[in-house]
Amino acid sequence: MAVRAVRGATQLDSDTREHMLERVAEMVTDVMESNGLEVDDFISVIFTATSDLVSEFPAYAARRLGFGDIPLLCARELEIDGSMPRVVRMMAHVETDLPRADVTHCYLHGAAALRKDLTRTRSVPDEDEAEGSGS
């Protein structure tokens, strides 16, 4: 079993507590499902948030998913001119049999634009877009 790092990012529409918890839980769950991971596979997770997000700690969303005994850390993302607003990023260290090249990094919503070089990057439609799609 190897230790791998898996990345994720999501962009929030607004800085509200419930929206933060929803988007971060979605990102963590997507990372888990995309890589066949269970909570016990996680060694640690580092979350960063842009300075315009202050409504809740991103790690609290992971705690609510059962990450109670996994070391989690929240930090502030660098403030670079022109950088994308309202973004939460994660880097998780996990135990997995996946080769490094097969690890799926998940960039959701507007954050999909951050890593267009990753072929597995996808955009999740917003609720309004999903309702209008007929799906």
Q: What homologous superfamily does CATH list for 2-124?
A: RutC-like (3.30.1330.40)
User: What's the pLDDT at 115?
Assistant: 77
58: tokens are: 């991103």
Is residue 133's pLDDT more than 60?
no
Instruction: Of 1, 81, 13, give the one whose Cα is nearest residue 53.
Output: 13
pTM, to two decimals = 0.85
Is residue 135's pLDDT more than 50?
no
Domain assignments of the chain as residue spans, ordered by start: 2-124
Backbone angles phi, psi at 117, to 5 degrees: -75, -15
Computed over its alpha carbons, how large is the radius of gyration of the chain? Answer: 15
The CA distance from 50 to 103, in Å, is 25
Share of the chain residues as helix, strand and coil, in percent rounded to the nearest 5: 35, 25, 40
Q: Per-residue confidence at 119, pLDDT binned at 50, 70, 90?
A: very low
Which SS3 state, helix, strand or coil, does residue 129 take? helix
Q: Is 4 exposed, middle or buried (0-12, 13-18, 19+ CB in 10 A)?
A: buried
Average pLDDT, the chain: 89
Per-residue pLDDT tens digits for 75-88: 999 999 999 999 99
Average confidence (pLDDT) over 40-51: 98
In Å, what is the CA distance from 10 to each residue of 2, 19, 97, 99?
26, 11, 26, 24
Compare 120 and 7 and report the one with higher pLDDT: 7
Backbone angles phi, psi at 36, to 5 degrees: 60, 40
